[in-house]
Amino acid sequence: MAYKLDQDFYQRPCLAVAKALVGKLLVRRLPSGELLKLRISETEAYCGEEDTACHAHKGRTKRTEVMYQVGGTIYVYLCYGMHWLLNIVTGEAETPEAVLIRACLEQNGPGKLTKTLSVTGELNRGSICGEELWIEDDGYSCHVVTDKRVGIGYASREDQNRLWRFKLQ
DNA sequence: TTAGTGATATCC
DNA sequence: GATATCACTAAA
């Protein structure tokens, strides 16, 4: 009995949302009308200006503006000129928090994931509760393990060591 | 291990 | 205007 997560789900601290999203179904309706469902197997939390790994830690800019929206907003970002990364904004408005969807089952890597789902910058600032992209809970539950975040060598040692990555075990 | 890629931020 | 940076991937 799958049901679509509503906006309230995302209006919680990013760590809680990041952990809760692991094991959920990411659903994408392609422009062609085709429906794709993938189970989320890995997420990472990026939490506020205090977090030196977070894009918004230096303050609000044109790019990070999206992270200051209310939870439930989609933040899509182009990395290394070729990969779109999918994030979901969490928490209250004015707090720059987001969860990076890092991988789904059968899809390791955030860049491959967005390629498979045809996620591009067009979805940036959209709603994760809309008709193009949303998340469902089908009652599946599993063991979630934590780990250090990766690919954030520019962050402080302290922040690199935070166990803010959540994986399906 | 390393090259490729382009938007963004930061520095003239 | 110019350059440095980057939450990655594929090929070797």
Q: What is the pLDDT of residues A59-81, one digit of tens each?
A: 899 999 999 999 999 999 999 99
Quote the pLDDT of residue A88.
98
Q: Report the nearest residue to nucleotide C7, CA vs C1'.
A: A151
Residue A97 CA to nucleotide B5 C1', Å? 27
Phi, psi dihedrals of residue A74, rounded to the nearest 5°:
-90, 135
Q: Is the CB of A116 under 7 A from strand C?
A: no
Task: State the DSSP string of A51-106.
Answer: -TTSGGGG---TTGGGGGS-TTBEEEEEETTTEEEEEEE-SSTTS-EEEEEEEETT
Q: What is the mean pLDDT of residues A36-63?
A: 94
Show me where the domains of chain A are located: 3-168
Class of domain A3-168: alpha beta
Q: Is the CB of A62 under 7 A from strand C?
A: no
Residue A85: pLDDT over 90: yes
Quote the pLDDT of residue A95.
95
Q: List pLDDT tens digits, range A100-137.
A: 999 999 888 999 999 999 999 999 999 999 999 999 99
Q: What is the mean pLDDT of residues A159-164?
A: 96
Residue A82 CA to nucleotide B4 C1', Å? 9
- This prediction has a pTM of 0.94
Q: Cβ contacts of residue A122 below 8 Å, gap of 6+?
A: none
Q: Would you place residue A31 in the very low, low, confident or very high pLDDT band (cuts 50, 70, 90)?
A: confident
- 10 Å CB burial of residue A132 (0-12, 13-18, 19+) is middle
Determine the Cα–Cα distance for residues A66 and A93; give it in Å rounded to an integer: 10
Quote the pLDDT of residue A101.
97
Q: Report the nearest residue to nucleotide B6, CA vs C1'.
A: A81
Q: Report the nearest residue to nucleotide C6, CA vs C1'.
A: A80
Q: Would you place residue A1 in the very low, low, confident or very high pLDDT band (cuts 50, 70, 90)?
A: confident
